[in-house]
A and B are shown apart, each in its own frame.
Chain A
């Protein structure tokens, strides 16, 4: 069974940093692109960042470019999202999902809550 488990969320002050992790199991991790998607309170889904299976290609939404960095460690079957210079508007539940650049987003993790507040 394919499983994705996010961790690393929490409360952080504006301007601070946080690193999210997504542990994957049940599939050949290195063969698939992975993505991060977020949902701010009362809002819809917003794609944040994606990375190819090898890690050689990445892409990010304009709203996070220059602040967030996606990466992966295929030896550990783990996806990461390094979030720097966090803003109040980055407050959201962050989901990792298997997919992008062709394959649909399936499945999704349960999400981890990031709250940016002073």
Chain B
């Protein structure tokens, strides 16, 4: 089983600031199968990034993903009020399709 670790657990930032979220895998993950999701309370999770670096349909370009192997990064260039949420990385190439524990981005 591939275990995903995310850091930091919580990121306290102000609107307009840059957010950098990390996801580390216990073994190499094919970049084709690494995704990032945004989850807000009471809503369905939303796919942001797939294939480590491709933005999903309708996702603004302030969201970007990078990385390969065991280290991946989600960057939000300039935080907007609607970006404060929990972010999860996931590998979806081989079962079990594990998620990281999440990074909460909250308002400073």
Q: Which residues of A contact B (CB under 8 A)?
A: 35, 37, 44-47, 50, 59, 61-62, 95, 97, 99-111
Contact = CB atoms under 8 A, between A and B. Distances in A.
Interface of B: 32-33, 35, 37, 39, 43-47, 50-51, 56, 86, 88, 90, 92-102
A45 B99 contact: yes
B97 A108 contact: no
10 residue pairs, one from A and one from B, having the closest CB atoms: A59-B95, A106-B47, A104-B50, A108-B44, A104-B35, A44-B102, A45-B99, A47-B97, A44-B101, A108-B45
Q: Which secondary structure characterizes the binding site on chain A?
A: loop
Q: Which secondary structure characterizes the binding site on chain B?
A: loop
Nearest to A95: B44
Contacts of B88: 44-45
A59 B96 CA distance: 7
B54 to A, nearest CB: 9
Contacts of B101: 44
Give the most central of A45, A46, A111: most B CB within 10 Å: A45
A97 to B, nearest CB: 8
A104 B47 contact: yes
Contacts of A100: 92, 95, 97
